[in-house]
C-alpha cells in the first residue's frame, strides 16, 4: 500500500481545479494548502476541509501569509518585489536587498516543505512570478516532485510537466483527438488572445494620438493594474493613496514615456515590401512581462541581447528581421512595462530591420529562411504550417523534435542548411496526442471546449497520472 501523499495546489482558478483536487483527495492525497484567485472555487475546496489562501490577485495573498517582509514600512511589498523582478527591473531594490528577499521566501518554503512533510507541488501554468518560482526551486532542490498543469495552444488541452526547462511530460495512456486548422493562422491563436485582440485592437497610432483616448488609456493603464516607469514601481495601494495632483502627474509622466516609445517604433519600422532583397531570418519579440521571457527565455530574457547574438552568428548574406509582438501595443499589456525609449532604435543600430507588427505571419513565413522566437507560440505555428522554426529558450512545444533549439552559432548554421521536414500534419501531432490531457486551464476552457468533453473522466485520468507519478521511484532531481 502506498504512503499517503502530502501536497499543495498553487494558482487554482476554475471549477475543474476543485474537481481535480477532490479526485486526488479520494486517491489518498492530503492537501496541506491550496492557493488561488477564485472565490467560488475557494468555497468548493474549503468544503473538502482544505485550507485555502485566496486573493483576487492570486499568489499575492501570500504577503500576509508569509509575514513578509516583516518590516512593512520598508516599501518592499510582495507585489512590488514580484512584479519588478519578473521583468528584470529592480528599481530601488538593490542586489543585497534582492538577495535577502529571495532568501526569506526560499527559506520559508524550504521550512514549510520539511515541517509539513510535503511531497508534491501542483501548480497551474509555468511558475513565473517570484513567489511561485522560488517555491518551484525549493521543491526541486529538496528532491520533491512538481507537476505543472501547462496550457497548450489548443483550448481545453494541457500538458502535465515535471520539469519546465526540459519540458519533461507525463504520458497520457488514453487516446485523444486534436483538431487543428493549420491552414487558417487564427486556428493556432488561443481563444483568450483572440478575444482580447478583438476587444482592444491596436492602439499604436489610431487611438493613442486622440487626446480623449490618450487620457482614457493612460488612466486605465495606471488605475487597472499599477504603474511602472523605468524601475519605479507603484502598487495599487500606493497609487490609491495619491491625491488627485499626484495621480495626474503619474498619468502624464507614464503617458508621455509611452508616446515617445511609440514614436521610436514608428521611426524605425518598415513594411515587408521595404525589406532589402536577399535571404533573411526573422526573430519574433515576446511580450514583456511574460513567462516566455522570464523564466523560459533563460539567458536570453534580454531580447536585445538575443538579437545581438543572432546577428553575430548569422552569415553576412543573411539579413536579420525583427517583428514586435502585436499585444505589446494593446491596452491590456502596458507598453512601458516591457519597452523603453530607444528600444527600437537599438534594433536598427544592430543592423537589423524592424518589420511592421501588423504584418501577417503567413506572409513572413513564406519569404524567410528561418523563424526564431524565444519560446513563443509563433515557433509552433510556423512549424505546423510547414516552415522552418527554432527557439532560444524552453517552450513547452520542445516536445516536438523537429523544432530545434539554438544554443550556438553551429546550431544556427545547421538549422538554416537543413531541409524542411516533409512530415504530414498528422505525423507532426503525434507528440501532443501522446502527452496531451483534456482539462480546463482557464475560464475560457470552461466556457467552451471543456464542456464538450467528459470533465469528470478527464479529472480522473489526470488524478491517476499524478498519483502514479508521485508514487514512482524514477524521479531524477533537477540540475541547477
Q: Is the pLDDT of residue 22 over 90?
A: yes
Q: pLDDT per residue over 246-268, tens digit each?
A: 877 777 777 787 788 888 999 99
Correct CATH for 5-175+436-471 of 3.10.450, 3.40.50, 3.40.1350, 1.10.1220: 3.40.50
Q: Is the pLDDT of residue 200 over 60?
A: no
Per the model's pLDDT, the better-predicted residue between 446 and 41 turns out to be 41
Rounded distance, CA 385 to CA 397, Å? 15
Give the burial string for 404-430 (b: 16+ CB within 10 Å, else e): bebeeeeebeebbeeeebeeeeeebbe
Q: Is the pLDDT of residue 212 over 70?
A: no
- Tell me the pLDDT of the chain averaged across its residues: 80
Backbone φ, ψ for residue 280 (5° rounding): -145, 155
The domain segmentation of the chain, as residue ranges, is: 5-175+436-471, 186-427
Q: pLDDT per residue over 363-419, tens digit each?
A: 899 899 999 999 988 898 889 888 999 999 999 999 998 899 999 999 999 999 988
Ranking 25-29, 79-83, 221-225, 344-348 by mean pLDDT, the lowest is 221-225
Q: What integer pLDDT is reported at residue 441 of this predicted model?
A: 78
Q: What is the mean pLDDT of residues 196-220?
A: 54
Q: What integer pLDDT is reported at residue 475 of this predicted model?
A: 43
In the sheet that holds 404-405, the strands lie side by side as 269-270, 353-355, 318-323, 279-284, 370-373, 389-391, 404-405
DSSP, residue by residue, 70-100: S-GGGS--HHHHHHHHHTT--TT--HHHHHH
Stated pTM of the model: 0.86
Q: What integer pLDDT is reported at residue 71 of this predicted model?
A: 43
Q: What integer pLDDT is reported at residue 73 of this predicted model?
A: 47
Domains 5-175+436-471 and 186-427 share a fold: yes
Domain 186-427 is in which class?
alpha beta
Amino acid at each position: 500500500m502506498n504512503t499517503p501523499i502530502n501536497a499543495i495546489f498553487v494558482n487554482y482558478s476554475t471549477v475543474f481545479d476543485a474537481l481535480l483536487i477532490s479526485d486526488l483527495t479520494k486517491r489518498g492525497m492530503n492537501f496541506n494548502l491550496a492557493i488561488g484567485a477564485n472565490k467560488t472555487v475557494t468555497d468548493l475546496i474549503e468544503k473538502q476541509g482544505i485550507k485555502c489562501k485566496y486573493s483576487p490577485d492570486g499568489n499575492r495573498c501570500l504577503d500576509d501569509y508569509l509575514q513578509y517582509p516583516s518590516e512593512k514600512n520598508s516599501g518592499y511589498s510582495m507585489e512590488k518585489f514580484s512584479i519588478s523582478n519578473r521583468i528584470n527591473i529592480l528599481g530601488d531594490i538593490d542586489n543585497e536587498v534582492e538577495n535577502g528577499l529571495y532568501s526569506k521566501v526560499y527559506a520559508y518554503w524550504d521550512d514549510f516543505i520539511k515541517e509539513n512533510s510535503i511531497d508534491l507541488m501542483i501548480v497551474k501554468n509555468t511558475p513565473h512570478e517570484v513567489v511561485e518560482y522560488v517555491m518551484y526551486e525549493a521543491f526541486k532542490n529538496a528532491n520533491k516532485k512538481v507537476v505543472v498543469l501547462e496550457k497548450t495552444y489548443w483550448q481545453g488541452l494541457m500538458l502535465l510537466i515535471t520539469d519546465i526547462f526540459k519540458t519533461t511530460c507525463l504520458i497520457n495512456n488514453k487516446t485523444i483527438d486534436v483538431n487543428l486548422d493549420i491552414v487558417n493562422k487564427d486556428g493556432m491563436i488561443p481563444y483568450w488572445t483572440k478575444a482580447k485582440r478583438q476587444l482592444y485592437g491596436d492602439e499604436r497610432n489610431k487611438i493613442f494620438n486622440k487626446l480623449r483616448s490618450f487620457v482614457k488609456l493612460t488612466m486605465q493603464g495606471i488605475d487597472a493594474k499599477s504603474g511602472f516607469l523605468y524601475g519605479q514601481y507603484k502598487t495599487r495601494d500606493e497609487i490609491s493613496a495619491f491625491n488627485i495632483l499626484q495621480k495626474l502627474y503619474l498619468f502624464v509622466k507614464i503617458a508621455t514615456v509611452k508616446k515617445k516609445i511609440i514614436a521610436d517604433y514608428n521611426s524605425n519600422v518598415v513594411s515587408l515590401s521595404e525589406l532589402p532583397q536577399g535571404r533573411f531570418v526573422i526573430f519574433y519579440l515576446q511580450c514583456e512581462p511574460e513567462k516566455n521571457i522570464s523564466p523560459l527565455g533563460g539567458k536570453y530574457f534580454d531580447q536585445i541581447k538575443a538579437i545581438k547574438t543572432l546577428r553575430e552568428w548569422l552569415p553576412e548574406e543573411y539579413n536579420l528581421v525583427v517583428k514586435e509582438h502585436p499585444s505589446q501595443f494593446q491596452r491590456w499589456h502596458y507598453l512601458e512595462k516591457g519597452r523603453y525609449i530607444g528600444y527600437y532604435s537599438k534594433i536598427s543600430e544592430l543592423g537589423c530591420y524592424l518589420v511592421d507588427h501588423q504584418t501577417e505571419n503567413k506572409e513572413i513565413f513564406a519569404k524567410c529562411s528561418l523563424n526564431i522566437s524565444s519560446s513563443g507560440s509563433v515557433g509552433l505555428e510556423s512549424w505546423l504550417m510547414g516552415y522552418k522554426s527554432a527557439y532560444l529558450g524552453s517552450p513547452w512545444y520542445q516536445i516536438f523534435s523537429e523544432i530545434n533549439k539554438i544554443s550556438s552559432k553551429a546550431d544556427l548554421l545547421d538549422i538554416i542548411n537543413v531541409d524542411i521536414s516533409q512530415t504530414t500534419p498528422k505525423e507532426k501531432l503525434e507528440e501532443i496526442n501522446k502527452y496531451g490531457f483534456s482539462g480546463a486551464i482557464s475560464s475560457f476552457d470552461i466556457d467552451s471546449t471543456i464542456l464538450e468533453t467528459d470533465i469528470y473522466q478527464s479529472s480522473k485520468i489526470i488524478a491517476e497520472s499524478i498519483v502514479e507519478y508521485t508514487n514512482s521511484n524514477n524521479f531524477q532531481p533537477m540540475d541547477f
